[in-house]
Every structure is written in C-alpha cells, then in structure tokens.
Amino acid sequence: MKDKPTYQDLLDANMRLSEENRKLREEVKRLKDLFVIKENAVPQSIHYLSLDAKVALFKSLFKGREDVFARRWYSKTNGKSGYQPVCLNEWNRQLCDKRKYKCAECPNRQLKALGYDDVYRHLEGRDADGCDVIGVYAILADNTCNFLCADFDDKSCGNGYQNDVLAYVSVCEEWKIPCSIERSRSGNGAHVWIFFETPLEAAKARKLGNALLTQAMARDGRMTFKSYDRLFPNQDRLSGGGFGNLVALPLQGRARKKGNSAFVDGAFVAYKDQWAYLSGVRKVSGGVVDELLAKHGLTSEFGELSTTSEEKPWNTPSLQNVVKEDFPEEISMVMSNMLYLPLKELSAKVVNHLKRIASFKNPEFYSRQGMRLSTYNVPRIISCAEIQDKYLALPRGCKDSVIELLDRNGVSYRVDDKTQHGTPVSARFKGTLREDQEEAVKSLVAHKNGVLNGTTAFGKTVAAIGLIAGHQVNTLILVHTKTLFDQWKSRLEEFLDIDYTLFS
C-alpha cells in the first residue's frame, strides 16, 4: 500500500501544475496572436480575375531567371525523378544526341524561356507523373534575386515541420516582414516565401534568411529545426557558368486537388481563394532588409554553424551575443557515454551555441546536390547533440570547447567523471615508429580524447597500436567489416606483445 502524499508532496505538485498552466496559457496566447488574420488582409473574392491575369500575377511573384527554367522529369523504368533545364531541341533526332553529349555540353542546346503555356500546364496539372511541374532558378545573371524561400521538409512525415515553420514565421512577423506559407507538393513540408520589391543581392537575401533562422532557434534552445532543408537562393553568387539551384513552384494543379502545393494560414489550412490571397501579398523593400541586417547582425548558412565551414569542420563556431547572465553561477557536468549538461538555468542562446559545437554540414548532402541528385531524406546538417528531459548531451570530444566557453564567461564548473577507465594491461610495442608517427603518438598519448587525421600510407593503424602501448589499458577497437577486423588482428599480432584475447 502506497504511503499517503505529504503536504510537501502536494505543494510541489501544485507548483509544477501552476507552472505548466502558466506556460500553456502563454502558448495559447502566442498561437492566437499568430493565427489572427485581419478581415481586410485578403480580398474576399477575386473570381473575376482572367486566366491571363492569373498567369501574369504568378510570373510576377515567382520570378527567377527569364532566359531559362526547369521542368520535372520522371522515369517509369527505375522510378527516379528530377528537374532539368528545358531545351527547345530536346528529342530532335538531328540536333539532340544524349548518348554523345551531356545536356550542359551539347553544342545544339537552345534553352527555352518560361512562357504562358508552360505556366498554364503547371497550374492545370494534367500529367499523371508530374512532368508538367516547373521550377525557376532563383539567382539572376547579375547575382540578385526576387524572392527568398526557406524550405522545411518533414522527413519523418510526422508534421514536425510545422513548429519549425511557425517559429520562423513568428520572427518574420515580429520584424514586420510579410511572408507566405506554402504547403509542399507532397504535403510533408512547407516553403516560406518572402518577396522583394526590386531584385536584391542574393548574398543579402540569404543573410536575412539566416538571421531569421538564428533568431527563431535562439528563442527555444530545445527546438532542433531538423526539418529545415535549405534557402533559395542556395548560394551567394553564380559560379562555373551554372544556373544555381532551382525551386519548384507552387499551385501545381494535380497537387492542389489534394490540398497541397497551396498557400496556407497559420493553422496550415489552405486559403479558399488562392488568387485572392496572392493578389494581397506584400513585398519587402531593399531598404528594410538593410535596416534589419544592420540591427540583427550577419550570419552564414544556418545559424548554428555561423563561423564554421565545410573545409574546416574542426573549428569551433564563434559565440554569438551570449553574456555571463545567460549562465548559472556554477555548472555541474557529468562525463559518461556523453557529456551531460543540465538545461536548467541555461538560456536558449547558450543551448543553441552548445548544439552548434556538436554540429557539422553533411558532405553527402553537398555531394548529391552538386551532382543534381535528390537530397530527399539526406540531412543538410548533422547534429550529434541530444536534448533530453533535463540534460543537453554532447559527444565527449566537445568537452574542451565547452570548458573554453565557460572559462571565457567566468562560469564555475564541476565535472563528475563516470566514464569507464578500463583495466591496466602490460603491452609492449614491438615495431619502430617513423618520426612523424612518433610525434603523432606522443601528442595523443597525453590526452584521453583525440583524433588522428593522416593521409593515405601514413600508417594510422601502426600509430594507433603505438598509442595502445602508450596508454597501457585494455582497448575497444571498432571496425565495420570483417576484412578490417582481420587486418587489425594481423597488425596487432605483428606489432604488439600482449594477451590478444583482450581485443576479441
């Protein structure tokens, strides 16, 4: 039989419920403020708009390069799909030889400008395979753009993207930036569009998008923004004679019949009259963008990687607008399978920065993107940080960066080491290390954590065996193939005098 709760138990429960009730009331108020749509914000009906006027309105908003556009293709043979620039000479037997030339290298290539019929086919959506869907290249020839589009893709199809979209949109509204939410053609994601009054430098537009993302993340450190995919334009300027990345356009007829590829309100309900909504869309001036960037600072792609790069992923991102008051007076960390930091009393900005330390750009995403392959379900950002109920968990290799952050802000800390220190063993290295290998082993043996990055033929395996002998402790070696296991076993027997049953 359970003991009756004490007065203190009831008091603690009451305080927890009161706090939960307060947070729920705040969230209800925030959502009400977000979902309120003024009666005069959108014309009630615009059924009289002619087809020509609708096409003209569509082209005036979703305006990319005018000398070229892309259309979706689909292969019934292997089920693959993608987009490619539309060529007037494609499938012309005398001028188009796909076996001999790639499209980009074809001497007879004649790109087609986006015309009335192309837009009409897209809006009508008759093709069952979606081969009438069109996309535009966001960056113009002079490295400017007419819109900024943030792509949120729910890879788990669990509608997790909606919270990320609303967080991004809430910052747009606070900064008085008109934006429009479009549910994706699949229905498992969304685009958030911002339109400019006149063409704006692509680099400046992207800085605006990144500032919005950074601010949205800083408001809630627990929000991972895993659904965020990319910004269009996807680069600051064109290079190598290409067109840059394309963005598929909304209001595709076949998808709209399913309630997708359409503009929605803050509750993700599609507007009944899409053309009435688009007729009321407001655009942002370049002057407003300049003021916002000057006020909120400049960041690079995806706020949590603000100063890192793909070429130097080992660099720790610089701290953004964090002060000592964002930390408690003392932090007690636990070092176990990961480094655990208590979330209590840490500001969202600090949590956000700590997540940056454990994040890096996914090279596979950029490789596939460069080859114009589908990046669906391939994350752009890989984050090794985990948000748990009371703790932020980071890889143990982040410890030095975390301590550096705390020292820089004058924060006291304690580390409770609960790691497995292993069993001492007697191991003798039987080989001879080269000078560069010996230098690497000498540097690493002084630390509990480290990474050996060596070129091909450096002798990383032999150096690692020298490191085992240097630490004199039983060692777990992880390999992902039987071949590598056999190679390791052979090298260990060759270079290490020890009881090898410890390594099986």
Residue 132 belongs to a domain: yes
Residue 306 belongs to a domain: no
Residue 87 has pLDDT above 50, yes or no: yes
Q: What is the pLDDT of residue 313?
A: 44
Q: Are residues 407 and 451 in the same domain?
A: no
Domain-terminating residue out of 301, 325, 343:
301
- pLDDT (tens digit, 9 = 90+) per residue, 20-38? 877 787 777 666 655 544 4
Domain-terminating residue out of 301, 336, 363:
301
Q: What is the pLDDT of residue 89?
A: 83
Average per-residue pLDDT in the chain? 84
Q: What is the pLDDT of residue 503?
A: 53
Domain-terminating residue out of 417, 450, 466:
417
Residue 45 belongs to a domain: no
The percent of residues above 70 in pLDDT, for the chain, comes to 86
Tell me what the mean pLDDT of segment 326-338 comes to.
91
Which of the four pLDDT bands, split at 50, 70 and 90, describes residue 223? confident
Tell me what the mean pLDDT of segment 472-498 comes to.
88
Q: Are residues 402 and 270 in the same domain?
A: no
222-226, 237-241, 302-306: range with lowest mean pLDDT: 302-306
Cα torsion 188, 41, 225, 410 to 10°: value is -170
214-228, 335-349, 364-378: range with lowest mean pLDDT: 364-378
Q: Are residues 32 and 75 in the same domain?
A: no
Q: Residue 124 is part of a domain; what is its CATH number?
A: 3.90.920.20
Residue 293 burial by Cβ neighbours in a 10 Å radius (0-12, 13-18, 19+) = middle
3-state secondary structure (DSSP) of residue 476: coil
E strands present in 77-143? 81-85, 134-137
Q: What is the pLDDT of residue 299?
A: 45
Q: Are residues 392 and 292 in the same domain?
A: no
From the CA atom positions of the chain, what is the Rg in Å? 28
Q: What is the pLDDT of residue 324?
A: 83
Residue 457 has pLDDT above 80, yes or no: yes
Q: Are residues 278 and 403 in the same domain?
A: no
Q: What is the pLDDT of residue 302?
A: 44
Paired sense of beta strands 330-335 and 412-417, if any: parallel
Q: Are residues 55 and 131 in the same domain?
A: yes
Cα torsion 215, 220, 222, 225 to 10°: value is -40
- pLDDT (tens digit, 9 = 90+) per residue, 407-427? 989 999 999 999 888 888 888
169-178, 218-227, 346-355: range with lowest mean pLDDT: 218-227
Residue 243 belongs to a domain: yes
- d(Cα 360, Cα 308) in Å, to the nearest integer? 8
Residue 180 belongs to a domain: yes
Residue 341 has pLDDT above 90, yes or no: yes
Q: Are residues 297 and 320 in the same domain?
A: no
Q: Are residues 12 and 63 in the same domain?
A: no
Residue 41 belongs to a domain: no
Residue with structure tokens 């002619």?
Answer: 50
Phi, psi for 167 (deg, rounded to 5): -65, -45
Q: What is the pLDDT of residue 157?
A: 56
Number of domains in the chain: 4
3-state secondary structure (DSSP) of residue 304: helix
Which of the four pLDDT bands, split at 50, 70 and 90, describes residue 273? very high
Which of the four pLDDT bands, split at 50, 70 and 90, describes residue 158? low
Which of the four pLDDT bands, split at 50, 70 and 90, describes residue 103? confident
Q: Are residues 106 and 172 in the same domain?
A: yes
Q: Are residues 193 and 336 in the same domain?
A: no
- pLDDT (tens digit, 9 = 90+) per residue, 288-300? 999 998 887 554 4
- d(Cα 185, Cα 358) in Å, to the nearest integer? 33
- d(Cα 192, Cα 263) in Å, to the nearest integer? 9
Residue 39 has pLDDT above 60, yes or no: no
Whole domain around residue 335: which residue ranges?
A: 316-417
Q: Residue 368 is part of a domain; what is its CATH number?
A: 3.30.780.20
Give me the sign of the Cα torsion angle 306, 308, 313, 317: negative
Q: What is the pLDDT of residue 318?
A: 54
Q: Are residues 129 and 184 in the same domain?
A: yes
Residue 319 has pLDDT above 70, yes or no: no
Q: Are residues 471 and 494 in the same domain?
A: yes
Residue 276 belongs to a domain: yes
SS (H, E, C) 148-178: EEEEEECCCCCCCHHHHHHHHHHHHHHCCCC
Reported pTM: 0.65
Residue 308 belongs to a domain: no
Q: 270 pairs with which residues across the strands?
A: 264
